[in-house]
A = this chain, B = another copy of it.
Amino acid sequence: MANIKQIALAAGVSITTVSRVLNGHPYVSEDKRSAVWKAIEQLQYKPNRNAVNLAKGETRMVAVLLPFANHPYFAGMLEGISYFALQHHYHIVLCQTDYKPEEEIRALELLRDKQVDGVIICSKQTNWSTIEPYAAYGPIVVCEYTESSVLSSIYVDYYEITRYIMNMLIDKGHRHIGYTIGRPDSFNSLNRIRAYEEALQEIQVPLVPEWTFSNCYQYDHGEEVIRAISNMHTRPTALVVAGDQSAAGILLGAAKLGIKVPEQLSVIGFDNIPIARVLELSTFDHSSYDIGCLAFTIFYRQLHADVPRTEKHKLPYHFIERMTVGQAPASFTALSNTKTPAQK
């Protein structure tokens, strides 16, 4: 394929002039400009992006780090990032990490090695101190709370939300409340747990470890949870579920097991993914699509304007009341041993 030198030769100008034409610089006479364009078209010339990247020190690529793309929450985020990226003529390098630290590092190394201009971290495992040094090579935007002074952060206050939910459930008479979370040791999970425990403490209700479940992401996990609950002697009357996907599994599993929602079990999800609407799941909305859009916007601004690279954005949220939260069932308010009819 032709290169810039051949264009220069064909158009009878210098390489510099070709580059000027290519990049729309002023100070090129009309006749040379058209001669260059003519040569470019005749030889079907297109600049080699590697050479451009090398010379400009910019790749117009951004790495997106996430555990799995095959999850509506992250897929939504990806879509948001993608949409804004395309508008700004950026491309996305997808780094699916499965929460493996070594894969997360590899994504950050793309930044260090100048393969990308920045990184958007949707969710990660690695600790901040390992990530921070890479911020020297370009903006890093994290969709999670961090106090780091070199990273930008878009976050949802899960402590606040969880307190809000717990209060709502307690107001409705629930005392037997369980929860599910994703990774047990993530910052968000720890905040959820803290809010949960404090809320119970305030009304002096003991914590039942049996009613707490971790590593819940997919439908299957939700089904396992509801199966486990259906076999319990004393069941929770409400579940605070960390993601709509597993909440959907719980709902559909409950239907199969004959557990009535919300009459016997209230379920609250998170994320408001499409299936939540279909299943009438009460949930918290904080559109992952919008988070993605914002993440890209911040990355882009930080790269092109001389702004501090440590913005913090707390996201609003709101509760979407649908059909899965109700009053605590009378028979369950006190510790009872009632068996519900449908059980395997």
Instruction: List residues of A whose CB falls within 8 A of some B CB.
Output: 46-51, 53-54, 59, 61, 64, 68-72, 75-76, 78-79, 82-83, 86, 91-96, 103, 106, 109-110, 112-115, 218-220, 223, 248-249, 252-253, 274-275, 277-279
Contact = CB atoms under 8 A, between A and B. Distances in A.
A344 to B, nearest CB: 16
A220 B274 contact: yes
A95 B103 contact: no
With most chain B CB atoms within 10 A of its CB, the pick from A53, A61, A83, A278 is A278
Of all A-B residue pairs in the complex, the 5 with the closest CB atoms, nearest first, are A70-B75, A50-B54, A49-B113, A82-B96, A50-B53
B278 A249 contact: yes
A252 B279 contact: yes
Contacts of A252: 278-279
Given A70-B72, A82-B69, A252-B279, A218 B274 contact: yes
A51 B103 CA distance: 23
A103 B75 contact: no
A85 to B, nearest CB: 9
A206 to B, nearest CB: 33
A113 B82 contact: no
A106 to B, nearest CB: 8
Contact of A47 (B47, B113, B223): B113
Contacts of A91: 93-95, 110, 115
The A contact surface, by secondary structure, is helix
Nearest to A91: B93
Copies in the complex: 2
Contacts of A110: 49, 91
B275 A113 contact: no
Contact of A49 (B51, B69, B70, B115): B115
Most-contacted residue by chain B among A61, A69, A112 (CB, 10 A): A69
A48 B110 CA distance: 10
A275 B249 CA distance: 9
A70 B78 contact: yes
A75 B70 CA distance: 5
A51 to B, nearest CB: 6
A116 B70 CA distance: 23
Nearest to A92: B94
Nearest to A56: B50
Nearest to A54: B50
A274 B92 CA distance: 26
22 contacts: A46-B112, A48-B114, A49-B113, A49-B115, A50-B54, A50-B115, A51-B54, A54-B54, A64-B94, A69-B69, A69-B78, A69-B79, A70-B72, A70-B78, A86-B103, A86-B106, A91-B115, A94-B94, A218-B274, A248-B275, A249-B278, A275-B275
Given A69-B75, A252-B278, 20 more contacts: A48-B113, A50-B50, A50-B54, A50-B59, A50-B115, A54-B54, A64-B94, A68-B79, A70-B72, A70-B75, A71-B75, A82-B96, A83-B96, A91-B93, A91-B94, A91-B110, A93-B93, A220-B274, A249-B278, A253-B278
Contacts of A112: 46
A168 to B, nearest CB: 25
Nearest to A64: B94
